[in-house]
Chain A
């Protein structure tokens, strides 16, 4: 099993798209959390300008976590799709399977390797965010108060957990569609259109509330909300906007964990049953 994990880590590590997606996500997190916000703060005025306090080290965890429930999620959904779906496009499943590992072993190795790689999708943006918030605090002559170690650890764990759930969503889409293109399209369509649109109408159409409470977006934002999420800011977060409803942190964790379990079980079921042409 450890050997298969090493193999999958090698595949992810040497795959250019892993680094492209990590770079893209880090850039997005840095821009929307700090760079664009700070430029807007310096130049502009009005409702959309983020308060300086959000860009200071004390709000590091809350500010960065704003992007994980949707933007970061969609990016690692692509990584999940590529990890599983690429095997169909290249026909490499038959090459791997004929080497003798159980299909469940290949699945577990891929999921564990993804989980390991996804730690970098949390740590790197946090390091960049910390640097930027530190720079802004210095420039603005503000106090440099970092969040407690416990809050940072919970923030990293929550961010990682959200990433893993979205990546598993990508995995199941990839094995169901036996490829990458349709899976990425469906994943983004679901995140943007279905969750996005229904969430936007939830305050006007009450019957949608129980449906939206089950969404990845709703539970994702609810999971990070106790860590100081600026809910007002999230309301205007473009495609990732979320106006509620928020559920309890425990409920959010339970629902997301159930999603993760369901995605992995379904992926495993499909992989075991699928014929390899």
Chain B
């Protein structure tokens, strides 16, 4: 197979001309990448990223995130499956003209300044040179643009990588761990930049293993584990409905009554005076009435939601048994 004529066996997804809000910007079907007989980096991945959303691609190190991104960009060939990005085969100049990407560590010519590095890339991309000061300003690197890349700190290199991704003013931004090496202020600025980019009907695919980052930025999240997409949905979907914590007395009686109520799932005793009750949090007042009506003293009821981190750990520990979609 040839990188310049890489055409998937089946055409899926919609063309770049489709501007509907649900238009699929990235669509993969059965995407698989094997290295030899034993190593399966990505397996049977069906990924759908819609126009205008910030999609979080969540996975532990080595889960297959970067391999997937490389396949989306045409840097490596899938072993099997199909890919369309912006309605084009991966790696096609027509598609890449509208994609900005930062994959893994930012890679630049060490002897060139940040400005000259972007100049080289702008020339290859056929982009106007007047985009260079704009993107340098966006990533707050204008002051050091004249310095050689080899003198940059890790955070500055990361900023230049994002600047390069923004150079074409792309429709789709693919970022692989963009906050690596940034200090807390830089991380916050980067998140704002990504969130702002995600407005205006543009799309971001953000690969990360940082739960808080994904939770703050992303509209939808896909969780990849051992090369497989094991869950996909909004952050709220993934965290689930959650439940209620109830401080009640006497606890055993409260537990017995709650367990008999319709619409109540598992009831767990957490400590001497608290129950965890699996129930739609919207039914909190109804539950309160039922317990008080049964003579139980209820001193506190509050909503409990699993953290994305807890959900992620649960998902990856179970290998995807908790699929939410």
Contacts and interface: CB of A to CB of B under 8 A. Distances in A.
A94 B103 contact: yes
A277 B124 CA distance: 20
A273 B91 CA distance: 13
A269 to B, nearest CB: 10
Given A3-B126, A10-B123, A102-B93, A275 B108 contact: no
Interface in A7-27: 7, 10-11, 14-16
A215 B275 CA distance: 86
Interface string B76-110: 11000000000000010100110101010111111
Contacts of B249: none
A95 B125 contact: no
A194 to B, nearest CB: 33
Interface stretch (B67-75, B133-141, B306-314): B67-75
Interface stretch (B18-26, B51-59, B113-121, B293-301): B113-121
B266 interface: no
Contacts of A15: 111
B178 to A, nearest CB: 14
Contacts of B211: none
A236 interface: no
Given A3-B124, A94-B103, A100-B125, A277 B111 contact: no
A96 interface: yes
B126 A92 contact: no
B107 A92 contact: yes
Interface in B133-176: 164, 167-168
A7 B123 contact: yes
A45 interface: no
Interface residues of A, number: 30
B2 interface: yes
Nearest to B75: A276
A16 to B, nearest CB: 6
A4 interface: yes
Of B74, B127, B167, most buried by chain A (CB within 10 Å of CB) is B74
Interface string A85-108: 010001110111111111110100
Interface string A166-182: 00000000000000000
Contacts of B70: 94, 275-277
Contacts of B108: 90, 92, 95
B107 A91 contact: yes
Contacts of A11: 109, 112, 120
A6 B108 CA distance: 17
A99 B131 CA distance: 14
A96 B167 CA distance: 12
A154 interface: no
A98 B164 CA distance: 10
Contact of B76 (A10, A95, A99, A275): A275
Is the interface on chain B under 10, 10 to 19, 20 to 34, or 35 or more residues? Answer: 35 or more
A98 B73 CA distance: 7
Given A11-B120, A90-B108, A276-B75, A98 B3 contact: no
Interface string A112-142: 0000000000000000000000000000000
A235 interface: no
B237 interface: no
A50 B116 CA distance: 47
Given A99-B124, A102-B93, A275 B111 contact: no
A101 B111 contact: no
Nearest to B148: A14
Given A11-B112, A276-B75, A277-B76, A103 B124 contact: no
B40 to A, nearest CB: 16
B93 A94 contact: no
B4 interface: yes
Contact of A95 (B77, B121, B168): B121
A103 B3 contact: yes
Given A101-B93, A273-B2, A96 B124 contact: yes
What 10 A-B pairs are tightest by C-beta distance, nearest first?
A: A91-B107, A100-B96, A7-B123, A99-B125, A275-B76, A276-B75, A3-B123, A98-B101, A7-B120, A99-B124
Interface of B: 2-4, 70, 73-77, 91, 93, 96-97, 99, 101, 103, 105-112, 116, 119-121, 123-127, 164, 167-168
